[in-house]
Structures are given as structure tokens and as C-alpha cells.
Amino acid sequence: MLKVIGAAIVIAAAGTIGVMYITELRRRSRDVKAFIDALPALRREICDMLTPTIDAIVSSEIKFEPLIDIDEVRQLRRLLGKVGAEEQRIAITRTEAWMTAMYEKLERERKSKGKVFAATCLSAGLMLAIVLI
């Protein structure tokens, strides 16, 4: 009986690792998409309406923190408010193009690797459970 309980725990733990990986891929993809969607509003506020940078960031509701590990996002954050409106427009447009390519890559990865990783984790858990029994 104890072996069966142990095997069930191993299978559940392995399956949970797979589900956590899929959840992380979805969260990352959702954060990137939200960032991309907020960039046009930020560009419009800074370049067209000439809103001060801090106010533009607040009104566009752009969130840098979840993506601060991406070099392009860090560079944009560093640049905002320190150069003229036209340079900021160029930087925002460049970041938007780069992030869109990244989002497409993340979506492909999520669709191809997510289910495979979950199935692999579950299979590894089953194999380990069989060995334990």
C-alpha cells in the first residue's frame, strides 16, 4: 500500500512540474502581449501629445517589471525621458517590432513544447513509479 501511495505522489509531482512549465509559458506570453499592446499608446502619448514621460508611462499602463530581464525592454526603459521625442518614437517602434517577433516565437514554443514537456514529465513520473513498485 505504501508503494502505491509513493508511486501516486511521484506521478502527481512529475505531472505538476509539466503543468507549471505550461503555466509559465502562458504567463510569459501574456506579459509580452500586454507590453506590445501598450507600446502604441505610450508612443502616442510621448510623441504626438508630448506628454511628460512619467505621465505617459502611467496613462499607457505599460508594465516594465515582468519583462525587465529582456535587454530590449531595459534599453527602452533607460532611454525614455532622456532623449527627444523622435528618438523615443524610433526606440519604441524598434522595441515593438522586436517584441512582436519574440511574442511569435514564444507562441510557437508554447504550442510545440508545452504539451510535449507535460507529457514527458508525466511519462517520467510513470516510469519512476513503475520502478518503485
pTM for the full model?
Answer: 0.79
Supply the pLDDT for residue 93: 95
- Which structural domain, as residue segments, surrounds residue 36? 2-132
What's the number of domains the chain is made of? 1
- H-state helical runs in 52-84: 53-60, 71-79
Residue pLDDT tens, the chain, 133 long = 888 888 788 888 888 888 888 889 899 999 999 999 999 999 999 888 888 888 888 888 888 888 888 888 889 988 888 888 899 999 999 999 999 999 999 999 888 887 788 788 878 888 877 887 7
Cβ-based neighbours of 7, under 8 Å, separated by 6 or more: 129, 130, 132, 133
